[in-house]
């Protein structure tokens, strides 16, 4: 049952997984003999990250109400900061003075920063894209700001993240026509400008972002061009923006088919449990999403069979923990009934649920990883789906198809 593990020589020699000149070493520990899933150790300047990994999002240099120490105790090895937000407030000068984002938020492990480009989609009414970059009007002081590839990297260099993302020209995944190709081609040109602008190539990794919308041909071109560049890792971008799931998974699997085996693959903006498990099967290593922490703040706790809306009256006298099998600090001490009551009077209730949800995401990925190492990932996927859905009829069609495409059959 052992997975086709990588040869001993490679396991023992970290340098074999090193990417020329970049501060990143990827060791592939195991690959699923059936699907494209793989388990790796990705060594970054601040710590080694076990993949597949879910990265919680700490937009403003904080993980909501969770302290850095709590996050570390949950086993989190890497989290995200948002360049757009941190660049606006408190600004790169202060963060640099505070010894980077690590020092400013006092986080000892790895950090990934986005480019600020995603805000082109989410704050589009405030922005205008030209070849030079993205023009924003600051919502804080109404000043016009140009976010160029050089500027984005300069800010990310000040933040000092372990992984920086290139500035890409993001178009909504539901947009079609020539704008998609323009954005893809511009993203390639901007990648070159980002690579040239990186002041710290020996301590900060720069990842490329594959674009091309939902058009396989454009994705192909982008993959072909970007994989010619010697970047330490690749992200699959432009998805998770409201497109059909059928289109989504096909773009993911097409991308992993063409990405180099020896470099990490980061699928941006994906965080629902089913999506995570399916996309691991499709060969992705890294994921991020605001969903688990955002939904916690609405009182929603994630469980292996879906979620619990703890504000609902049905939990008022339910004295079980959120998930009786969960070992997170919240589930070890508190009941659904107490959290239901506390939600009415103190924000600590949100912190309890946030901690549980982060713990849920991290331990899901830990189980995924262990099953890959143990060579039983397909069985894991079947058990996971069985627990998540009341019956096989309720399995989402796209997930069944996506898993079948990599040899994991569910029914």
Q: Which pair of tokens denotes residue 257?
A: 């088919």
362 neighbors 287 (Cβ within 8 angstroms): no
Q: What character string, x for contact with another protein (CB under 8 A) and - otherwise, covers 102-121?
A: --xxx---------------
Total interface residues for another protein by CB under 8 A = 43
168 is in an annotated binding site: yes
Q: Decide if residue 97 touches another protein (CB under 8 A).
A: yes
65 binds another protein (CB under 8 A): yes
Interface residue with another protein, options 18, 98, 126, 290 (CB under 8 A): 98
Neighbours of 320 (CB within 10 A): 11
CB nearer to another protein: give 128 or 314: 314
CA distance linking residue 169 with residue 209, whole number of Å: 10
Q: Which is nearer to another protein, 143 or 319 (CB)?
A: 319
Is 317 one of the binding residues for another protein (CB under 8 A)?
yes
Residue among 62, 200, 203, 227 that touches another protein (CB under 8 A): 62
- Does residue 345 bind another protein (CB under 8 A)? yes
Tokens of 161: 């993240």
Query: Would strands 306-309 and 300-303 be described as parallel, antiparallel, or unpaired?
Result: antiparallel
Instruction: State yes or no: 352 annotated in a binding site.
Output: no
CB of 52 to another protein, least distance (A): 26
* Contact between 322 and another protein per CB under 8 A: no
For residue 356, say whether it is annotated as part of any ligand binding site.
yes
CA atoms within a 13 Å half-sphere pointing along the CA-CB vector of 56? 31
* Residue 316 in contact with another protein, rule: CB under 8 A: yes
Least distance from another protein to the Cβ atom of residue 84, Å: 13
At 172, is the secondary structure helix, strand, or coil?
Answer: coil
Q: How far is the CB of 290 from another protein (least distance, A)?
A: 14
Residue selected from 16, 33, 47, 90 as contacting another protein according to rule CB under 8 A: 90
- The DSSP annotation for 53-104 comes to EEEEB-TTSSBTTB-HHHHHHTT--EEEE-HHHHHHTT-HHHHHHTTHHHHH
Cβ proximity of 256 and 227 under 8 Å: no
Helix (H, G, I), strand (E, B) or coil at 401: helix
54 binds another protein (CB under 8 A): no
Catalytic residues: 114, 288
Segment contacting another protein by CB under 8 A, of 225-233, 303-311, 348-356, 368-376: 348-356
How does DSSP assign 326-346, residue by residue?
A: --SHHHHH--HHHHHHHTTT-
Q: Is 116 annotated as a binding residue?
A: yes
Q: Is 73 in the site for another protein (CB under 8 A)?
A: yes
Between 219 and 356, name the residue whose CB sits nearer to another protein. 356
How far, in Å, are 8, 30, 102, 205, 373 from residue 5 at the CA level? 8, 4, 34, 26, 8
Q: Which of 265, 194, 269 is nearest to 223 (CA)?
A: 265
Q: Is 312 in the site for another protein (CB under 8 A)?
A: no
20 binds another protein, rule: CB under 8 A: no
Interaction between residue 61 and another protein (CB under 8 A): yes
Among 121, 290, 341, 400, binds another protein (CB under 8 A): 341
Matching residue, tokens 């995200």: 80
Is the dihedral angle over the CA atoms 43, 49, 51, 53 positive or is it negative? negative
> In the set 89, 189, 199, 392, which binds another protein (CB under 8 A)?
89
Distance between CA atoms of residues 117 and 115, nearest Å: 5
Identify which range of 60-68, 113-121, 300-308, 379-387 contacts another protein by CB under 8 A.
Answer: 60-68
Footprint on this chain of another protein (rule: CB under 8 A): 60-70, 73, 85, 89-90, 94, 97-98, 104-106, 316-317, 319, 329-330, 333-335, 337-338, 341-342, 344-352, 355
């Amino acid at each position: 049952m052992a997975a086709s593990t990588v040869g001993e020589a490679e396991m023992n020699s970290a340098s074999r997984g090193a990417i020329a000149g970049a501060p990143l070493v990827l060791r592939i520990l195991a690959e699923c003999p059936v699907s494209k899933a793989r388990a790796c150790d990705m060594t970054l300047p601040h710590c080694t990250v076990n993949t597949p990994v879910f990265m919680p999002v700490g937009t403003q240099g904080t993980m909501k109400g969770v302290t850095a120490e709590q996050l570390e105790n949950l086993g989190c090895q890497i989290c995200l900061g948002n360049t757009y937000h941190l660049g606006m407030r408190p600004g790169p000068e202060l963060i640099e003075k505070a010894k980077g984002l690590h020092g400013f938020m006092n986080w000892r492990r790895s950090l990934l920063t986005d480019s600020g480009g995603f805000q082109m989609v989410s704050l589009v009414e405030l922005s205008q894209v030209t070849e030079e970059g993205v023009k924003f009007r600051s919502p804080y002081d109404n000043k016009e700001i140009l976010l160029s590839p050089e500027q984005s990297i300069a800010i990310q260099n000040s933040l000092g993240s372990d992984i920086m993302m290139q500035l890409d020209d993001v178009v909504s995944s539901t947009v079609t026509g020539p704008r998609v190709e323009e954005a893809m081609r511009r993203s390639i040109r901007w990648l070159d400008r980002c690579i040239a602008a990186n002041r710290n190539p020996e301590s900060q990794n720069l990842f490329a972002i594959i674009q091309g919308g939902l058009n396989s041909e454009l994705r192909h071109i982008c993959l072909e061009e970007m994989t010619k560049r010697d970047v330490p890792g690749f992200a699959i971008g432009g998805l998770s923006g409201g497109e059909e799931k059928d289109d989504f998974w096909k773009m993911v699997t097409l991308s992993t088919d063409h990405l180099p085996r020896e470099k990490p693959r980061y699928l941006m903006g994906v965080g629902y449990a089913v999506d995570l498990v399916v996309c691991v099967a499709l060969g992705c290593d890294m994921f991020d999403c605001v969903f688990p922490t955002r939904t916690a703040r609405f009182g929603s706790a994630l469980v292996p069979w879906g979620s619990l809306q703890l504000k609902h009256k049905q939990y008022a006298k339910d004295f079980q923990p959120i998930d009786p099998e969960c070992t997170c600090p919240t589930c070890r001490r508190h009941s659904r009934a107490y959290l239901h009551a506390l939600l009415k009077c103190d924000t600590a209730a949100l912190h309890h649920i946030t901690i549980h949800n982060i713990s849920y995401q991290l331990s899901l990925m830990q189980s995924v990883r262990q099953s890959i190492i143990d060579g039983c990932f397909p069985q894991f996927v079947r058990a996971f789906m069985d627990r998540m859905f009341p019956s096989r009829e309720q399995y989402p069609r796209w997930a069944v198809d996506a898993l079948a495409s990599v040899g994991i059959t569910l029914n």
